[in-house]
């Protein structure tokens, strides 16, 4: 365990950010003998600082870098470094001293220096997240990740976790954190997410999920929240239908299919009844304030009752403002 002066720690962090846009921790161990330098090695992005004095921070081997990043206010610095890379269009080599450090969970630029976007979009059921996700995916080239799609695939395959998830979905309840949190963590660490960036659709839904992402060192550039009144949401959900052959979603009032054959085969999801959507909305409102509180620095609230194209403009403006800030 070593005590580092906070000012020195800031300088060290800034130097590391300049070459890798992410915080890599270095732990000096043992006492130097004469002019012999201390041994330094790259370690996982886990830092747990403990306050030692007014200007000192104790670094231990089993630490988590999220509190340290918050302590030093590095999120904003990281964004400015990413902006600099975009404008200069120059890749920066990672120093050999940290090349053996384990890969991060999708929070850094790629090895070529290309910057990526890490986004979260949230809102109640039928708030328009799906429509906006398609536009965001097209505009930014990120990987669209929906826990709902992954869980429904598991239900269709009748896997063990799918059967468990079906019980909650049929009751109009949210699937428990332990069923999905591991899936999300693993997915964000995969190559396409690291190289292209990612868009989490409707996740995290609970404070526990938000905390789990934070503890894993996973942070976003922008948290988009679509605001829509409950009465509008209920109307949207109850009239929603899906074409089982194409997967396309229609609405019996706002966007019914013109083809009679398509109309005849439309299906309603088992959890798209008025009673069940009201249960889902109750659970949503029970968690949403705490989740939003976890992203106060990057959240942008958008009116989701406007036309989709107008919402898309607001979304793009929000993302641009957060990524460039």
Q: How far apart are CA 155 and CA 166, in angstroms?
A: 6
DSSP letter string, 68-128: HHHHHTHHHHHHHHHHHHHHHT---PPPGGGTTSPPPSS-S--TT----EEEEEEESTTSS
Question: How wide is the angle at C-alpha 299 spanned by C-alphas 298 and 305, nearest 5°?
Answer: 150
Q: Is 280 a catalytic residue?
A: yes
Q: Are 119 and 137 in contact (CB under 8 A)?
A: no
DSSP letter string, 194-241: HHHEEEEES---SHHHHHHHHHTT---SEEEEEE--HHHHHHHHHTEE
Pairing of the two strands 56-59 and 2-5: antiparallel
Q: Name the active-site residue from 83, 137, 269, 292.
A: 269
Q: Is 205 a catalytic residue?
A: yes
Q: Is 129 a catalytic residue?
A: yes
Cis link prior to 204 (omega < 30° from 0)? Answer: yes
Q: Name the active-site residue from 45, 82, 118, 129.
A: 129
Q: Name residues whose C-beta falls within 8 Å of residue 47's C-beta, 6 or more positions apart in sequence.
A: 23, 25, 59, 63, 64, 65, 67, 68
Quick one: CA dihedral 107, 109, 110, 111, positive or negative?
Answer: negative
Q: Is 118 a catalytic residue?
A: no
Q: Name the active-site residue from 240, 241, 276, 322.
A: 240
Q: Name the active-site residue from 45, 118, 196, 205.
A: 205
Q: 28: which 2 tokens? A: 């000096």
- Which residues are known catalytic residues? 129, 205, 240, 269, 280
């Amino acid at each position: 365990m070593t005590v580092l002066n906070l000012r020195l720690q800031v300088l060290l962090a800034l130097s590391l950010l300049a070459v890798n846009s992410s915080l890599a921790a270095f732990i000096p161990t043992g006492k130097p003998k004469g002019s012999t330098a201390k041994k330094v090695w790259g370690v996982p992005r886990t830092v747990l600082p403990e306050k030692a004095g007014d200007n000192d921070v104790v670094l231990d081997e089993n630490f988590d870098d999220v509190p340290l990043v918050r302590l030093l206010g590095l999120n904003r610095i990281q964004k400015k470094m990413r902006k600099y890379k975009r404008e200069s269009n120059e890749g920066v080599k990672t120093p050999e001293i940290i090349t053996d450090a384990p890969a991060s969970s999708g929070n850094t630029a790629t090895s070529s220096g290309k910057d990526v976007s890490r986004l979260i979009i949230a809102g109640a059921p039928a708030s328009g997240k799906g429509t906006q996700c398609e536009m965001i995916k097209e505009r930014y080239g990120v990987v669209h990740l929906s826990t709902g799609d992954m869980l429904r695939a598991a239900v269709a395959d009748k896997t063990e976790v799918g059967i468990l998830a079906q019980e909650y979905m049929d009751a109009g309840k949210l699937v428990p954190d332990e069923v999905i949190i591991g899936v999300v963590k693993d997915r964000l660490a995969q190559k396409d997410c690291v190289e292209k960036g990612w868009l989490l659709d409707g996740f995290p839904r609970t404070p526990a999920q938000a905390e789990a992402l934070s503890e894993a060192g996973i942070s976003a550039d922008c948290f988009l929240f679509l605001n829509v009144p409950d009465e509008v949401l209920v109307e949207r959900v109850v009239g929603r239908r899906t074409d089982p052959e194409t997967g396309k979603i229609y609405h019996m009032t706002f966007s019914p299919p013109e083809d009679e054959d398509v109309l005849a085969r439309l299906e309603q999801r088992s959890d798209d009844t008025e009673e069940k959507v009201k249960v889902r909305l109750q659970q949503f409102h029970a968690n949403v304030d705490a989740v939003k509180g976890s992203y106060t620095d990057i959240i942008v609230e958008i009116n989701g009752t406007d036309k989709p194209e107008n919402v898309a403009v607001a979304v793009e403006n929000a993302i641009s403002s957060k990524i460039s800030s």
